[in-house]
Amino acid sequence: MEGGTTLGATTVNGGTATITLSSLSVGAHSIFAIYGGSSIYAGSISTTFPQKVQQAVTSGTLIASANPSTAGKSDTLTVSITSNGGVPTGVVTFMDGTTVLGTGVLNAQGVATFTVPSFLAGTHSITAVYAGDSNDLGTIPALSLVVQQATTGVVLSTSGSPSTAGLPITLSAVVTGNGSAPTGLVTFYDGTWKGSYRGRTLPLPLRLC
């Protein structure tokens, strides 16, 4: 018993009666046992036992579906929260430094996910902030995520070759990349331009700006 609440009842076996509880809330509890007696023995009540229940300790692991990742591509963050009590519940907030990326709800296995549509190139300090629940303490697993620049390719075509002097000709450059759709400026050259662009040597009659 706890106050007027019955916690459980079981038969005395060899002078001992035992029950197992998993429903006690966090905090201090005053528990006592009542022996109802038998045809031989009179009933009795135990002294009160102070039972303290503390929050369970949690830990977590945080991973990314791609690390290193590619700028302009989506990346899914997955956090797994474990506890030395039951399965943790609640919401996890995913952050990039001090910037909130989004939230995820822990499932029945203590796992939450969030997909980031795109990261900028660079190194990102990702954390999954779990504030805990009524039974579990919080935890903040971290991840260093490297995002590389997407690579590109350029295919050049013309409206016709050979063309006629004095008549217009249309040059078309199709730029593709392994990230999101490339944006920016294309400069067309006549002749071989042997310069560098962002550390890359481009011996092409075409330069991206």
Q: What angle do CA 204, 207, 209 make, to 5 degrees?
A: 160
Q: What is the model's pLDDT at position 200?
A: 53
Using an 8 Å Cβ cutoff, are 200 and 176 in contact? no
For the domain made up of 58-148, give the CATH fold.
Answer: Immunoglobulin-like (2.60.40)
Q: What is the model's pLDDT at position 207?
A: 41
Residue among 209, 199, 194, 183 at smallest CA distance from 71 = 183
Q: How far is the C-alpha of 130 from the C-alpha of 189, rounded, in Å?
A: 55
Q: What is the model's pLDDT at position 194?
A: 62
Q: Where are the domains of the chain?
A: 1-54, 58-148, 152-208
Give the rounded distance of the alpha carbon of 193 from its chain centre.
Answer: 46
Burial class (CB in 10 A: 0-12, 13-18, 19+), 27: exposed
Using an 8 Å Cβ cutoff, are 111 and 87 in contact? no
Q: What's the predicted TM-score (pTM) here?
A: 0.72
Q: How far is the C-alpha of 202 from the C-alpha of 206, rounded, in Å?
A: 8
- Give me the average pLDDT of each 10-residue run along the chain (209 residues): 93 94 89 94 94 95 95 94 94 97 97 95 96 95 93 86 87 81 83 60 43
Q: What is the model's pLDDT at position 119?
A: 92
Using an 8 Å Cβ cutoff, are 140 and 90 in contact? no
Q: What is the model's pLDDT at position 197?
A: 57
Residue among 46, 50, 48, 1 at smallest CA distance from 21 = 1
DSSP secondary structure of 101-156: EEEEE--TTSEEEEEES---SEEEEEEEEE---SSB--B--EEEEEEEPPPEEEEE
3-state secondary structure 6-21: CCCCCCCECCECCCCC
